[in-house]
Structure 1
Amino acid sequence: MPRFKRILLGLGLLALLLLTLRLWPQTPLREAAPLSRLVLAENGELLRMTLASDGQYRLWLPLEEIAPAMVEAQLLKEDRNFYWHPGVDPGALVRAALATYGGGMRQGGSTLSMQLARRLYGLNSRSIAGKLQQIALALWLEARHSKHDILEAYLNLAPMGGNIEGVEAASRIYFGKSAAQLSLSEALALAVIPQQPRRGRFGPALQRARLQLMAQWRQEHADDPRNDGLLELPLTARSRQQLAFRAPHLSEQLLASRPDDTLHSTLDLALQTRLERLIEQFVGDHRRQGVHNASAILVDSRDQAVKAMVGSADYFDAAIHGQVNGAQARRSPGSTLKPFLYGLALDQGLIQPMSILRDAPHAFGAFQPENFDGRFAGPLTAQDALIRSRNVPAVWLASQLRQPSLHGLLQRAGIRGLRSEEHYGLALALGGGELTPAELAGLYLMLAGDGRLRALRWTRSDRSEPGPQLLSPQAAFMVRDMLRHNPRPDGLPADARGRDWPVAWKTGTSWGFHDAWSAGLVGPYVLVVWVGNFDATPNPAFVGVRTAAPLFFRIADALPLALPQVRAPVDRPPPGLTRVDVCAASGELPNRWCPQTRKTWYIPGVSPIRVSDLHRPVWVDRLSGKAACPPYDAASSELQVFEFWPTELQRLFAAAGLPRRTPPDAERDCRVQAAIDSLEVPRISSPLSKVTYSLRLSQPQENIALAASAAADARTLYWFADQRLLGQGAPQAPLQWRPEKSGQYQLRVVDDQGRSSSRLLRVEFLP
């Protein structure tokens, strides 16, 4: 075979061998050494860097993300012919041997591939045998890996002073930034460290080496505009002792729960710092009251991102068990769960915000709840019962709930550690269970939106997929509106610190004064605050409104100042919610005699609604004050309106120092019912009975007229269809109604005296 053919054959076999080596499965160089882990703030600032398992600070950054100046500076310093040699540069080796063994200064001739081989295989390259072994392994690396992978590995594994390896770890520690953001001056400084890693302290020796490399850079890159900068100025670098250790509880939580090497959190570092400072100041101000610890979590309701989390007042204080993460500790929530109980009651048609509930002694089997102040307020609106945290109305509502109950809602919300519903009984409404501040924040996040559960987002890669619908959008809005009427604990107006940041909030106190809570919505944020001791030591000062609420409002007042560019979205009522006038005293539709009305939100077809009969007229004898008997004489008697409260509520009013006038007993005084003489009920004239009304879909203006004749004393008629309030008006003014769909409806008309009549109606829609 001719010689040139043998050469070609040999080259071909060599090429095939190299290709086989390159394609043969191999362990990526990234796995050559264990890595540190990073926790970053939302803006990329470092919160925490851990040591790798071998005690080194080492991070891995893809070559494409490393600043080009860093790559070029390293090649200029270590291996200018990197892309042209097979792993060994013979010329560099000869020059190094002549310099080293010819009596001159010791000089290295290792390529980046050779240096990487020494690092990977732990070689001693100072001897001739070690050097030969290094050369062989460098050639082996080049045969097995691409230039891209070798250069990437070197930049991520090169010694950078002490126990720091790689440009990413060095850049994070020395300059507080990623190697992707290095300036030319910083890149030149890092490029000279691998040859003299003891100079990692950025002293004069390293500065001289950097200036020498800078001169070479200017020769190689004469046209680089960065050369005109102040590159000669000494660099200021941090030490390992100054390595960031921020948001320690959040960092530890993410490191323990996520496998990723780099955890990019949603934390706003400015808000985190402000929250830490406010809690530290609050604990210092209240230390004499026995307050030593607190935690808080702040969530952006617009994207479910956790913006700040403080697990304890001082992470480093062992006396308060400061390393415990209070935001993930299970505690009794007190009354902070009541808003969700009321939300369920709104959805199940038990109440509307102005419904009257009784705060009176009541036994639920063997359970006899009492209020925190030991008193009973008598009749009060559902809104007042919620914001005043009355226990008896809450337990009564819990006893009336169908499925889901409050326990069922908590189960669907994913609250961990719940016992059976029978274990808690009705006491769950008063905070009988346990949950974490983070879980409570998730519930209030649901309340801040449309009633659908959404998971908290702890990292930028988290996706908050919609979960189960726990409350209707209408009920969630009504609860928010009710909580916005909760007065501030300092007596200031609700909008004292900014009308654009409404606050809807609730407090809670656990049994035995172990935990004080305040949770709610502050503009577009959800804020939960807890005050207590991690060892469960009780303290009479741990009362939600006295201890947690002041801290809650310190933070709430600081947020608009810290975020002047943020505007809270306007909380508009969702479709399917209307406003109606109700009698202020009874919470029901006003009859003719109701002296005062107020507005309430109402879900048509769901919210309970009927005409009030609390206020009734009675003819009273002017001289005796007793009920006048018919025939009535206007000269000796007059018509007076009384509130007809049940006897037990009359006693409560009297006990509270608010006695109500007792109506005259007409049956006793006259043996007749004292009322207006007319007993005429409204008579429906339209629609007709036993008639099917046909409406055309193509004619949206077609309606059904609702009209009725009424007694002379009737001033207002209320029209209902299957318990849904259609509207109200004077008897002489027909109401126009267009049903939503075909079907049978039970129409009912009620006058403001409480008299009513009804009629079945069938409706068909035609094309």
Structure 2
Amino acid sequence: MFVIVFTACRIFDTWIDNTNLPLTLAETSTEVLDRNGKLLRAYPVGTGLRRLAVQPAEVDPRFLEMLLRYEDKRFHSHAGVDPIALLRAAGQALWNTRAVSGGSTLTMQVARLLEDGTTGRWAGKLRQMRMALALERRLSKDQILTLYLTHAPYGGAAEGIRAAAYSWFGKEPGRLTPAEAALLVALPQSPERRRPDRFPEAASKARDRVLARMQRQGILTEEQARTARQTPLPHRMAAFPRLAPHLADRVKAAQPGQRQIRLTIDRQIQAQMQHLAAEAVRAGGERLSAALIAADHQTGEVLALVGSPGYADAQRRGFVDMTQAIRSPGSTLKPLVYGLAFDQGLAHPETLIHDGPADFAGYAPQNFDGAFRGDIRVREALQQSLNIPVVKLTQELGPARLMASLRAGGAAPELPGGAPGLALSLGGVGISLQDMVQLYAGLAAGGQGPRLRMVQGAAPQPAGRLISPEAAWQVGDILRGLPVPAGARRGTIAYKTGTSYGHRDAWAIGWDGRHTVGVWMGRADGTPVPGIFGGDLAAPVLFEAFGRLKPVLEPLPPPPPATLIVSSAELPQPLQRFRPRDAVFSAPADAPELIFPPDGARLALDSGGLTLKLRGGTAPFLVLANGRPVLAGQRQREFPVPSPGPGFSSLVIIDGAGRSDRVDLRID
């Protein structure tokens, strides 16, 4: 008899050991987490299932206790099959002539889930028993429980306890109320027929049965059970988090196969900024888009990145990540030009510079309003975002040097074609919002900051130096003096706005003592938005972003010790007024200039004489025609002179200070 029993046991053991088990390492969703480990986005697996990796330690202990008490109270003592439970189920079925309770252990349920099959009748039960016994031999109890928590169905596309907690309650399963835990215990038994959004009555009855048993077993008090029964059921499945979706797509593509990616993003700040972007475009038409980046310029960590107001908004092309789009920066590059000029000794914030008509080899820029201010301090020229002064500085620096500085600062500007020209400083280059924030973070960090980074664990790397600490402080000191939107406090943020040609892009980028924020607004397809300006549209969003980023702004830094802080009159003589490097060979800025007739003109003979038009100079004026005086003591700047007659002639104008200008012309 012993031999027969021994032989039967050996055969049974061999039969169990030879069980072919399905794969236990099922694919789980790729999760993108924030800096604190909170879920930003989870990508579906298979045919759209949400299956998130989980460990028992991450789940509410009371839920685990309720689960085991309800489904398999001898889970930790049986070998995969619970004979007592099977006998009880069989006895109840015989007594009631129908199945009243199941005898499946949690391990048998895991076997069915892994096999993705149905229980069936006897054949199905036997198959599950064999697989359960094999699982218990090869895995620990904790591993089996983990498989159940990962694979149990909870209705819809939710598979596993974490997906269920997010789908039904919008949170992680680490802390569940008794009502929530009871519903999640009951759902896997019939996940579609007990869905609370579709069959609330069935869901309520199933939940209440779990609560009643937990009360009888002393897991819940009578008051806890009564409160849980009165708790409303969720009436719909909650959407999974979709925070920083554009950045999540980017890092997922860059790290294929990585199941968990932790970013530097702060989930709470990201949610605030996404909401702000959606608010900002609401009144601007269905095609208006926006993008925003908030970064810590001391560490380089990006805390929020909003690629569009709505990832799924087709009207606004929300799927396009506008933080990466190449756009014209408008006037937002001007601070860097001034900073480079300060470094090169070309100017100081208190230097006088002339804002008047200028021609740079055929390129004649105009100010935005078409007006000229005459002599003006460099500080005011930047604050008023005048075009002619910054082009003068760009010419002295050289557009190639400006491009090199952009690249050294961590940006990747794109030229529309050919070599860089003077229009570069007015927005004649393509650059992304992310690169603009990188450049401004360098200014905010004293002329050289860290490279922006979005993934936790990436080693901090410095960007190249843009300008000196002294020049960076001077730029910030100028920009902190700009007028601010209504209700904002002046002097707390150094910022600059910009509007690209044709009103296609509105920008506002700024910093306080710790953070740099950049805002872009426009249309994703690049078409104009009539009437948009960076100051009107983007600047209020910038200041609101700082308000949502933190309750109190951090003060801007004090000037470095070597910073020259004096008035215009106290500046060294070469810095009191801006003059080009070759000014010694050029006429003074206020020298007289014959603007009509122009040099080389060909005019028809007129018996009434010629009309001359002057610019600059000091009255009275003397006019020479072919070396002979034809008019003296003239104080007007537009006046007639006798015609010098047919043929080639020269006209010379001499002002009261002895300065002159000459034109050659031909009269037929």
Q: Same fold (TM over 0.5)?
A: yes
Q: Which secondary structure state, in structure 1, belongs to the residue aligned with residue 508 of structure 2?
A: strand
How big is the shift at 1:336?
Answer: 0.9
How big is the shift at 1:331?
Answer: 0.6
Please tell me the residue identity of whatever aligns with 1:444.
Y
Relative to 1, partners in 2 of residues 1:272 and 1:422: Cα closer, same or farther, differing over 3 Å? same
How big is the shift at 1:207?
Answer: 2.7
Distance (whole Å) between structure 1 residues aligned to residue 128 and residue 349 of structure 2:
81
Residues 45-70 of structure 1 show CA distances to partners (whole Å, capped at 9, x for unaligned) of 66544432322121111222122112
Relative to 1, partners in 2 of residues 1:338 and 1:177: Cα closer, same or farther, differing over 3 Å? same
Q: Give the structure 1 partner of residue 494 of structure 2.
A: 504
**Structure 1 residue 346 corresponds to structure 2 residue 334:** no
Distance (whole Å) between structure 2 residues aligned to residue 357 and residue 560 of structure 1:
34
CA contact (8 A) 1:279 1:551 kept: no
Equivalent in 546, 549, 552 of residue 538 of structure 2: 552
Q: Which runs of 5+ in 2 are unaligned?
A: 580-585, 596-614, 622-668
Q: Give the structure 1 partner of residue 71 of structure 2.
A: 78
Relative to 1, partners in 2 of residues 1:137 and 1:279: Cα closer, same or farther, differing over 3 Å? closer
Q: Give the structure 1 partner of residue 661 of structure 2.
A: none
CA contact (8 A) 2:519 2:541 kept: no
How big is the shift at 1:149?
Answer: 1.1
How big is the shift at 1:163?
Answer: 2.6
Superposed, which structure 2 residues align to 1:755-766 within 5 Å? Answer: none
Please tell me the residue identity of whatever aligns with 1:114.
M
Superposed, which structure 2 residues align to 1:365-376 within 5 Å? Answer: 365=361, 367-376=363-372
Q: Give the structure 1 partner of residue 214 of structure 2.
A: 217
Equivalent in 202, 205, 209 of residue 208 of structure 1: 205
Q: Which secondary structure state, in structure 1, belongs to the residue aligned with residue 323 of structure 2?
A: helix
Equivalent in 96, 104, 107 of residue 110 of structure 1: 104
**Structure 1 residue 147 corresponds to structure 2 residue 88:** no
Range that drifts further, 232-241 or 426-435 = 232-241
Please tell me the residue identity of whatever aligns with 1:397.
L
Relative to 1, partners in 2 of residues 1:389 and 1:88: Cα closer, same or farther, differing over 3 Å? same
Distance (whole Å) between structure 1 residues aligned to residue 314 and residue 472 of structure 2:
41
Distance (whole Å) between structure 1 residues aligned to residue 115 and residue 276 of structure 2:
52
Q: Which secondary structure state, in structure 1, belongs to the residue aligned with residue 424 of structure 2?
A: helix
Please tell me the residue identity of whatever aligns with 1:569.
P
**Structure 1 residue 517 corresponds to structure 2 residue 517:** no
CA contact (8 A) 2:287 2:316 kept: no
Distance (whole Å) between structure 2 residues aligned to residue 70 and residue 335 of structure 1:
58
**Structure 1 residue 65 corresponds to structure 2 residue 58:** yes
Range that drifts further, 549-558 or 241-250 = 241-250
Length, aligned pairs only: 583
Relative to 1, partners in 2 of residues 1:52 and 1:417: Cα closer, same or farther, differing over 3 Å? farther
How big is the shift at 1:460?
Answer: 5.5
Residues 465-501 of structure 1 show CA distances to partners (whole Å, capped at 9, x for unaligned) of 433333322222111112122334x6x6xxx5236x6
Q: Give the structure 2 partner of residue 589 of structure 1.
A: 572
Q: Which secondary structure state, in structure 1, belongs to the residue aligned with residue 320 of structure 2?
A: coil
Superposed, which structure 2 residues align to 1:28-427 within 5 Å? Answer: 29=24, 31-32=25-26, 34-39=27-32, 47-100=40-93, 103-198=97-192, 199-201=194-196, 203-221=200-218, 227=224, 230-237=227-234, 239-240=236-237, 242-245=239-242, 248-253=245-250, 255-257=252-254, 259=256, 260-263=258-261, 267=265, 275=273, 279=277, 282-287=280-285, 292-301=288-297, 303-313=299-309, 315-365=311-361, 367-401=363-397, 405-416=401-412, 418=414, 423-427=419-423
CA contact (8 A) 1:330 1:436 kept: yes
Please tell me the residue identity of whatever aligns with 2:206.
A
How big is the shift at 1:370?
Answer: 3.9
Residues 77-98 of structure 1 show CA distances to partners (whole Å, capped at 9, x for unaligned) of 2211222122222222233334
Please tell me the residue identity of whatever aligns with 2:114.
L
How big is the shift at 1:408?
Answer: 1.4
Range that drifts further, 169-178 or 370-379 = 370-379
CA contact (8 A) 2:165 2:171 kept: yes
How big is the shift at 1:238?
Answer: 5.2
Relative to 1, partners in 2 of residues 1:465 and 1:237: Cα closer, same or farther, differing over 3 Å? farther
Please tell me the residue identity of whatever aligns with 1:573.
P
Equivalent in 556, 563, 571 of residue 557 of structure 2: 571
How big is the shift at 1:228?
Answer: 7.9
What's the RMSD between the two structures over aligned residues? Answer: 4.2
Relative to 1, partners in 2 of residues 1:188 and 1:572: Cα closer, same or farther, differing over 3 Å? same
CA contact (8 A) 1:173 1:238 kept: no
Distance (whole Å) between structure 2 residues aligned to residue 442 and residue 157 of structure 1:
44
Distance (whole Å) between structure 2 residues aligned to residue 301 and residue 530 of structure 1:
19
Relative to 1, partners in 2 of residues 1:219 and 1:280: Cα closer, same or farther, differing over 3 Å? closer
Please tell me the residue identity of whatever aligns with 1:70.
F
CA contact (8 A) 1:171 1:179 kept: yes
CA contact (8 A) 2:347 2:578 kept: no
Q: Which secondary structure state, in structure 1, belongs to the residue aligned with residue 463 of structure 2?
A: strand
Distance (whole Å) between structure 2 residues aligned to residue 612 and residue 186 of structure 1:
72
Relative to 1, partners in 2 of residues 1:663 and 1:74: Cα closer, same or farther, differing over 3 Å? farther
Relative to 1, partners in 2 of residues 1:565 and 1:372: Cα closer, same or farther, differing over 3 Å? closer
CA contact (8 A) 2:351 2:578 kept: no
Q: Which runs of 5+ in 1 are unaligned?
A: 591-607, 614-644, 665-767
Please tell me the residue identity of whatever aligns with 1:204.
E
Relative to 1, partners in 2 of residues 1:223 and 1:557: Cα closer, same or farther, differing over 3 Å? closer
Range that drifts further, 56-65 or 418-427 = 418-427
How big is the shift at 1:178?
Answer: 0.4
Range that drifts further, 434-443 or 85-94 = 85-94
Q: Which secondary structure state, in structure 1, belongs to the residue aligned with residue 511 of structure 2?
A: strand
CA contact (8 A) 2:503 2:528 kept: yes
Identical amino acids, percent of aligned pairs: 34
How big is the shift at 1:448?
Answer: 1.4
CA contact (8 A) 2:22 2:115 kept: no
Please tell me the residue identity of whatever aligns with 2:59.
I
Relative to 1, partners in 2 of residues 1:163 and 1:532: Cα closer, same or farther, differing over 3 Å? closer
Q: Which secondary structure state, in structure 2, belongs to the residue aligned with residue 179 of structure 1?
A: coil
How big is the shift at 1:588?
Answer: 2.6
Q: Which has the higher contact order (CA 8 A, sep 6+)?
A: 2
Equivalent in 583, 586, 590 of residue 649 of structure 1: 590
How big is the shift at 1:565?
Answer: 3.4
CA contact (8 A) 1:280 1:313 kept: yes
How big is the shift at 1:177?
Answer: 0.8
